Amino acid sequence: MKLLDPVNNAPIAIRTAVDEGWRAYRRQAWPLSGFTLVAGSVNLLAQLVFRQGSEALFNPAGDPVPLAMLEAAAALLAWMLSGLWLLVGLLHGAATALEGQPVRIGLLLKPDRAAMVRSSGTIALITVVLWGVRELADASASLLILLQPLLAPLPLIARLAVLVYLAVDQLLCLPITVLGGAMPLVAIQSGRRAIDPHWLQALGLLLVVSLMLLAGVLLLLAGLVVALPVALCTLTAAYRQLFVRPGNRPTVQERG
């Protein structure tokens, strides 16, 4: 298993990543936001259908309703696939925009199935790790309550610290998976290798990207049509700083 080695050992230049991401978005705002609107609408519709279906899973007598279960399962699958479609398409679009090339919305709308499969594996692996951290912390807290109640909060504090560390450590795992073509375990380990030496800079970038997304949410979700592409353009710019050599930068037009 060969890891992706950073081509640049310097810390992430946060200001540069933000500036490059914003300029890339401004150059290709219509296709990036248009794709976000289309894929995001499908994702939102799937969520609404899932909620409606999940409320009717059982009849008043407590018996399962097969049709409602099928509807909820289909909506859940559509929600997951549309979310992957959105993230993968935007990352490809961001990479192309950062190259100064035009982003064609038709290619964004065409799902990159291989990247979606890799991304689902990466997300699943990180989810399992986070679940394990939570379960271990809860079990430790329960044990300390029996032995020494005053120490019971310590595992919960440790859990929060580990979750923050992992969130920062895997900040670039999806760009590495989608744009770098790495399999899930390679993407996670490569991201950790690149970010660990400059963890504080990565934390700063995570806070900046989180504020962008929060601003989009506060604008009644409509702002996410702009905030999400800008955030992913910024992450892609940071990924390029660490992993992409000049003159060797694949774009969305090169996808098969």
**Mean pLDDT, 10 residues at a time, the chain of 256 residues:** 74 93 95 95 91 75 76 90 96 95 91 94 90 76 68 73 87 93 91 89 94 87 89 96 68 42
Q: Does residue 181 fall inside a structural domain?
A: no
pLDDT of 37 reads 94
pLDDT of 55 reads 73
Burial of residue 168 (CB within 10 Å: 0-12, 13-18, 19+) is buried
Alpha-carbon distance 243 to 245, whole Å? 7
Helix/strand/coil (H, E, C) string of 166-178? HHHHCCCHHHHHH
Q: CB count, 10 Å around CB of 245?
A: 9
- The number of distinct structural domains making up the chain is 1
pLDDT of 253 reads 40
pLDDT of 245 reads 64
* Nearest CA among 251, 245, 226 for reference residue 99: 251
Q: Does residue 245 fall inside a structural domain?
A: yes
Place of tokens 């660490």: 242
pLDDT of 246 reads 64
pLDDT of 134 reads 75
Residue 178: CB partners within 8 Å, gap ≥ 6? 87, 88, 91, 92, 112, 115, 118, 119
Q: Residue 56: helix, strand or coil by DSSP?
A: coil
pLDDT of 66 reads 79
Alpha-carbon distance 114 to 109, whole Å? 15
Q: Which two tokens stand for residue 117?
A: 């499969």
Q: What is the pTM of this model?
A: 0.87
Q: Does residue 180 fall inside a structural domain?
A: no
Is residue 206 within 8 A of residue 167, CB to CB? The reply is yes
Q: Does residue 148 fall inside a structural domain?
A: no
Q: Does residue 144 fall inside a structural domain?
A: no
* Nearest CA among 243, 250, 241, 214 for reference residue 230: 214
Domain that holds residue 41: 14-111+186-254
State the alpha helices, DSSP H only, in 55-198: 66-98, 105-109, 113-147, 153-169, 173-178, 184-195
pLDDT of 10 reads 82
Alpha-carbon distance 34 to 25, whole Å? 12
Q: CB count, 10 Å around CB of 23?
A: 14
pLDDT of 151 reads 67
pLDDT of 148 reads 65
Q: Does residue 246 fall inside a structural domain?
A: yes
pLDDT of 236 reads 96
Torsion of CA 51, 52, 57, 61, to 10 degrees: 130
Q: Does residue 155 fall inside a structural domain?
A: no
